[in-house]
Structure 1
Amino acid sequence: MERRDIEIFLTLAEELHFARTAERLGVSGARVSQTIKQLERRFGVALFRRTSRHVELTAAGSALREDVQAGYQRIQEGIARAIAAGRGFTGSLRVGFSSPLAGEVIMKAADAFRARHPDCEVRIREVHLSDAFGALRSGELDMQVTELPVREDDLSCGPALVRDPRMLAVAARHPFARRERVTVEDLTRDTLLVPADAPGYLLDALVPAQAPSGRPILRTPTLTSRQELLTLVGSGEGMAVVGSQATRFHARADIVYVPIEDLPPIEYGPVWPAGGQTSRVRSFIALARSQLGEDTARATREPVDR
């Protein structure tokens, strides 16, 4: 039976009136009558007894209604859920962040998203350095805001949402701790601690393999978490390139953050599974951009203390 045939049969079985059935389904009375006749010919049994004044189900019609009703209801519910998911504003949106700054971006966007789409829950979780894309690939996250660039065949990414000036984290007793700024050439003078499993292209974007002079930069892949980074840097095990957000979120007496004058800011942007940019993801990204734009405009309007 075609879906429309099932709708006509079940509606007539409920209404027991051809004209009301036609009106309810938005079809002609002839269409209803023709469909029932075709079903009866196909099954070889009468489904309804009808006179000029009365319509009722036969025993075969009642049995068919019982058999079809439950399955049809499940199909309708499945279709409704699929449509709602396609529209994207029910269920949940799972968003990851890889740094406190990215977390701030997500929290602001999540507040705006919840206000606009109250039927869609936003779930937020941290993405660890040791497994940057694992949660996306396993389906645990719908998207995340993370360091760019991302060059993975199974992932898509959007343009940068926020940029964070780079700084060098060193132990408070390190010679660079007394500097106002450092350069890329200075990075060749000590061990540089970097994430253990970062893709090569991302590692090169974060910390170049060599300085402009051609001298190599000793990059030691040891870090699996930010707390580990802070502990190793504070104990003098090496230096680390970080964003300026560290001065707000990770201020410590045993660590000094020194601006790097000749490296561009670290960029953070949205990443999602290839082919998985649902309307929920698109709306969330648009709201994130809008919130950041409002923050920038607000900052330019605020008076500067002199």
Structure 2
Amino acid sequence: MTVELREIEIFLVLAEELHFGRTAERLRVTPARVSQAIKKQERAIGAELFKRTSRSVQLTPIGAVLRDGLAAGYQQIKEALSAAAAAGRGVTGELDVAYSAAWCGTLVVAAADAFRARHPNCRVRIHESPLLDPLVPLRNGTHDIQLIELPIDEPDIVNGPVLFSEPRALVVPAGHPFAQQDTVSLEDLAESPLITVTGQPQYFLEHHYPRRTPKGRPIPRGPSTTAWQEVLALVAAGKGVSPTCARAAQYYSRPDVVYVPFHDAPLVDYGLLWAATNSTPTVHAFTESLLEEAARRSTPSRQ
């Protein structure tokens, strides 16, 4: 029998999603196209691959055997096609990827694993970007691509796609009155000195470390530093408070500080940057891997 690669893909995605509508959305085809492909395979095999009811879709035992047999081979075919396409586009050499926060680093590492499988002739090096002057490594060619907090608006830097957005929190000393609250407001920033960072563009600092609350109240300034661990040390010492991503509580937990979520602050966007002079096929190929990994992580798991 003859089965096209696209039909194999439809079968494998349906075997994972167990939902015709989600499969169609993921593959950007119509549900009718999914149904037609599955019926064609079932006719060729002579047995049902899925049990369908009005409430559920389940693999049959024969469908499970087919899934297990096809999955590894299909992945090898995809990797071979990607490697050939990469060679044709010049996706070779070395790529230096930087990230600004630990939760960005986990995404970059996972994407790098997928990228290496597709492009074995390209070596990927991963770095944490500096808090002080984070754009300098992009401009001098030390880093090729960077995942960082936005906004960044520079004429010589390309803004790639936003990969994800995160809620904000305020990190406060453990004994601070805010530490007893479930949430804080942007207006609460007027009540304590704000510990800030230096070495970032002024518009970036104004976005993340405003000088006034939404109602126009002045926000007092505390110490400023160039390192995140120093921010935490200053907060713990009672020198002030500092805004951050709420997820920092999972990565930088310590007994002398508390992360209190904002209930009215905009999300923090995390996006990709690269130098305008360095818009290479390799950079764009790695961007694709990051987008795929970010999309995979944002999709709720279905049991």
Asked whether the two chains share a fold, i.e. TM above 0.5, the reply is: yes
Counterpart residue number, 2:49: none
Segments of structure 1 that go 5 or more residues without pairing to the other structure are 1-83
Looking at structure 1, the residues matched to 216 and 88 of structure 2 have their Cα atoms a distance apart, in angstroms, of: 52
Counterpart residue number, 1:81: none
Question: Is 1:291 aligned with 2:293?
Answer: yes
Looking at structure 2, the residues matched to 153 and 239 of structure 1 have their Cα atoms a distance apart, in angstroms, of: 33
Letter aligned with residue 217 of structure 2: R
The 8 Å contact of residues 92 and 121 in structure 1, kept in 2 or not, is answered as yes
Letter aligned with residue 187 of structure 1: L
The 8 Å contact of residues 86 and 279 in structure 1, kept in 2 or not, is answered as no
Looking at structure 2, the residues matched to 137 and 272 of structure 1 have their Cα atoms a distance apart, in angstroms, of: 8
Equivalent in 169, 172, 175 of residue 174 of structure 2: 172
Structure 1 vs Structure 2 CA RMSD: 1.7
Counterpart residue number, 1:29: none
Looking at structure 1, the residues matched to 297 and 177 of structure 2 have their Cα atoms a distance apart, in angstroms, of: 37
The 8 Å contact of residues 85 and 91 in structure 1, kept in 2 or not, is answered as no
Counterpart residue number, 2:228: 226
Letter aligned with residue 106 of structure 2: E
Looking at structure 2, the residues matched to 281 and 218 of structure 1 have their Cα atoms a distance apart, in angstroms, of: 41
Equivalent in 266, 282, 285 of residue 284 of structure 2: 282
Looking at structure 1, the residues matched to 146 and 124 of structure 2 have their Cα atoms a distance apart, in angstroms, of: 12
Looking at structure 1, the residues matched to 192 and 223 of structure 2 have their Cα atoms a distance apart, in angstroms, of: 14
* Worse-superposed segment, 84-93 or 140-149: 84-93
The 8 Å contact of residues 105 and 292 in structure 1, kept in 2 or not, is answered as yes
SS at match of 1:130: coil
Counterpart residue number, 1:215: 217
Note closer, same or farther for the CA distance 1:178–1:208 as it changes in structure 2 (3 Å cut): same
Looking at structure 2, the residues matched to 112 and 223 of structure 1 have their Cα atoms a distance apart, in angstroms, of: 36
Looking at structure 2, the residues matched to 219 and 152 of structure 1 have their Cα atoms a distance apart, in angstroms, of: 26
Note closer, same or farther for the CA distance 1:130–1:85 as it changes in structure 2 (3 Å cut): farther
Question: Is 1:262 aligned with 2:264?
Answer: yes
The 8 Å contact of residues 223 and 239 in structure 2, kept in 1 or not, is answered as no
Question: Is 1:128 aligned with 2:152?
Answer: no
Looking at structure 1, the residues matched to 135 and 220 of structure 2 have their Cα atoms a distance apart, in angstroms, of: 25
Note closer, same or farther for the CA distance 1:173–1:301 as it changes in structure 2 (3 Å cut): same
Counterpart residue number, 1:236: 238
Equivalent in 188, 191, 194 of residue 192 of structure 1: 194
Per-residue CA deviation, residues 176-210 of structure 1 (Å, 9 max, x unaligned), is: 10011000110011111111122111112213321
The 8 Å contact of residues 91 and 285 in structure 2, kept in 1 or not, is answered as no
Equivalent in 162, 165, 172 of residue 163 of structure 1: 165
Note closer, same or farther for the CA distance 1:266–1:221 as it changes in structure 2 (3 Å cut): farther
Counterpart residue number, 1:153: 155
Question: Is 1:301 aligned with 2:298?
Answer: no
Letter aligned with residue 202 of structure 1: F
Looking at structure 2, the residues matched to 107 and 211 of structure 1 have their Cα atoms a distance apart, in angstroms, of: 37
Note closer, same or farther for the CA distance 1:217–1:88 as it changes in structure 2 (3 Å cut): farther
SS at match of 2:162: coil
The TM-score, its normalising length taken from structure 2, stands at 0.69
Counterpart residue number, 1:52: none
Question: Is 1:139 aligned with 2:178?
Answer: no
1:219 CA drift (Å) = 3.8
* Worse-superposed segment, 111-120 or 287-296: 287-296
Counterpart residue number, 1:273: 275
Per-residue CA deviation, residues 196-243 of structure 1 (Å, 9 max, x unaligned), is: 122111112213321122111224461211111111111111101010
State how 1:64-143 maps to structure 2 within 5 Å.
87-143=89-145
Per-residue CA deviation, residues 10-66 of structure 1 (Å, 9 max, x unaligned), is: xxxxxxxxxxxxxxxxxxxxxxxxxxxxxxxxxxxxxxxxxxxxxxxxxxxxxxxxx
Counterpart residue number, 1:59: none
Q: Which runs of 4+ in 1 moved over 3 A?
A: none
Letter aligned with residue 210 of structure 1: R
Per-residue CA deviation, residues 49-100 of structure 1 (Å, 9 max, x unaligned), is: xxxxxxxxxxxxxxxxxxxxxxxxxxxxxxxxxxx99933211010111111
Counterpart residue number, 1:67: none
Which protein shows a greater Rg?
1
Paired residues, number: 218
The 8 Å contact of residues 111 and 290 in structure 2, kept in 1 or not, is answered as yes
Counterpart residue number, 2:16: none
Looking at structure 1, the residues matched to 260 and 205 of structure 2 have their Cα atoms a distance apart, in angstroms, of: 20
Looking at structure 1, the residues matched to 264 and 148 of structure 2 have their Cα atoms a distance apart, in angstroms, of: 22
